[in-house]
Amino acid sequence: MNKNLTSKIILVAVLVAVGAWTLFPPGEKLKPGIDLAGGTSLIYEIDTHNLKESEKKNLSANMIVVLRRRIDPANIQNLIWRPLGNTRFEIQMPLASAEARQRRNEYGQAEAALLARNLSPAKIMRSLEKPAQERSDLFESFAQGDPNRIEILDNLAKVHDEYTTLKNSRDELYGNLQTAETSMTSAGLDLDQVNSNKNDWAKLGEQELATSLKEFTDVNASLVLLTGYVKTYAEWSTIANQLLAKKIQYKDARGTIDQLNLSRDQLNVCLETPKKREGKIDELKADFPDRVAEIDKVVATYDSYSPYRGRVDDPMDLRRMLKGAGILEFRILPTRDHPEVDPDLMASYEARLIEKGPKYAPDTRYEWHEIENIEEWKTTSAIVAPFGGKFYVLASNQDEETMLRGNWKLQRANPSQDDTGRRAIGPLTFSSLILSVT
């Protein structure tokens, strides 16, 4: 036989063997298409309100490019994307194999059983109403001997007690004010005039107040009644302002309850990070010693499911990923060099992100958002921290510093440049305002 032919046959045999070995077992490595395995077809229609006919040309094909880059950039999920005209498109998703679905279900059940052991915030809040000793005993059982958890619970109890005391004082003083107003009306005092002056009177010292009230009424009984009313109002006003500040502190303290629990983000980082995986799982068991059996079960079922696992295994996965695509929101970012930004507070947000992940780290003031490409991130003074191999930036969550989904709509956007000559988008035309952003 020709030597060249023999070498070619050997080469072909080797390549076939390598290919077969790479694809073995085929049930794990190959996903059949929707025509063989069945599956789901999702059809979406693009909102083209206010668009000209010329702007609708190839709109669905362009939208597919953008969404595909976000959801399946490597084109490995076996998704079929098809434009249906200019304004509609279809995504076909083949059904996973029976074994893959079974292993996914086993992993989902194990994960749900583990996370079900998390403490209910409502249960912790109810414990705050218990007598001191009973509350302390409940805190010990919640904390599982962890001093950090005890500190979180003790701080929550302290802020709760202070908030409750202020609230009761405010309500009691308000009742006294109502009673005094009834008495003043009976004494013939003009309540409208009293209300229009009480804020100014409440700021006066003892002597100045006496002089001002004598000018308002010269009846001694009415003067005594009015003086008591103004002093009560001044006390009520002070406590009401303290209560507003304490209410924010109380909301933040309640938000720390999530730090007592195991988050799904925290669990996924332990399972999906090959480097030092065993060490991370051991740390998880040390943090939650009462859940060692459940953690072992999750690890075992995850490892069994992992060879079959894809980023998009279920239609609900795909729908969740598409739901957030194209949502435009604006949030102000706190920066390290701003005089009103507390460095210690920012450090606490970073620590919470690194420990628990982006879902459980935010509160009423700030929340974390993923940075799509850290290499292109230019805002060096922003608060940026890593979690699970990704980077997140801290953004405002306060009404006056956000523009979220609501009764406004993006009408038009055009390419532009910022002051330094970099590419930018702007102006952005909305239903009620115009902004230019980098």
Q: Which of 130, 358, 361 is nearest to 257 (CA)?
A: 361
Number of other CB atoms surrounding residue 226 within 10 Å: 25
Quote the percentage of the chain above a pLDDT of 90. 26
Per-residue pLDDT at 438 exceeds 60: no
In which band, very low, low, confident or very high, does the pLDDT at 237 lie, cut at 50, 70 and 90?
Answer: very high
Q: Return all residues near 321 (Cβ < 8 A) that are at least 6 apart.
A: 70, 71, 312
Q: Return all residues near 359 (Cβ < 8 A) that are at least 6 apart.
A: 263, 264, 265
81 contacts 89 by C-beta, under 8 angstroms:
yes
Strand partners, 184: none
Q: Please report the pLDDT score of residue 167 as a whole number.
A: 94
Section 27-50 average pLDDT = 71
Q: Which of 90, 92, 85 is nearest to 58 (CA)?
A: 85
Distance, CA of 135 to CA of 123 (rounded, Å): 11
Per-residue pLDDT at 285 exceeds 60: yes
In terms of average pLDDT, the best of 14-23, 55-64, 216-225, 314-323 is: 55-64
Section 51-73 average pLDDT = 86
Distance, CA of 140 to CA of 138 (rounded, Å): 5
Q: Please report the pLDDT score of residue 27 as a whole number.
A: 56
Section 65-87 average pLDDT = 84
What does the angle CA 126 – CA 128 – CA 134 come to, to the nearest 5 degrees? 100
The token pair that represents 73 in the structure block:
């950039």
Own/partner contacts of 402-408, CB < 8 Å, gap of 24 or more, are 402/329, 402/330, 402/331, 402/332, 403/329, 403/330, 403/331, 404/329, 404/330, 405/327, 405/329, 407/431, 408/432, 408/433
Total residues belonging to the chain: 438
Per-residue pLDDT at 436 exceeds 50: no
What does the angle CA 278 – CA 26 – CA 103 come to, to the nearest 5 degrees? 50
CA distances from residue 116 to 103, 123, 127, 294 in whole angstroms, order as listed: 20, 13, 19, 10
- The enclosing H or E element of 44 equals strand 39-45
Q: Please report the pLDDT score of residue 437 as a whole number.
A: 40
Residue identified by tokens 């079929």 is 80
Say whether 14 sits in a helix, a strand or coil.
helix
**Higher confidence at residue 343 or residue 403?**
343
Q: What is the CA radius of gyration of the chain?
A: 32
In which band, very low, low, confident or very high, does the pLDDT at 256 lie, cut at 50, 70 and 90?
Answer: confident
In which band, very low, low, confident or very high, does the pLDDT at 169 lie, cut at 50, 70 and 90?
Answer: very high
Per-residue pLDDT at 210 exceeds 60: yes
In which band, very low, low, confident or very high, does the pLDDT at 172 lie, cut at 50, 70 and 90?
Answer: very high
Buried residues in 403-413 as b, exposed as e (16+ CB within 10 A): eeeeeeeeeee
Distance, CA of 234 to CA of 224 (rounded, Å): 16
Number of other CB atoms surrounding residue 79 within 10 Å: 19
Distance, CA of 238 to CA of 28 (rounded, Å): 68
Section 117-134 average pLDDT = 90
pLDDT in tens, 304-325: 998 877 656 677 777 877 776 6
Distance, CA of 40 to CA of 241 (rounded, Å): 56
Torsion of CA 398, 399, 402, 404, to 10 degrees: 120
Strand partners, 331: 402
In which band, very low, low, confident or very high, does the pLDDT at 51 lie, cut at 50, 70 and 90?
Answer: confident
Distance, CA of 265 to CA of 269 (rounded, Å): 6
The token pair that represents 379 in the structure block:
């805002």
Q: Please report the pLDDT score of residue 361 as a whole number.
A: 61
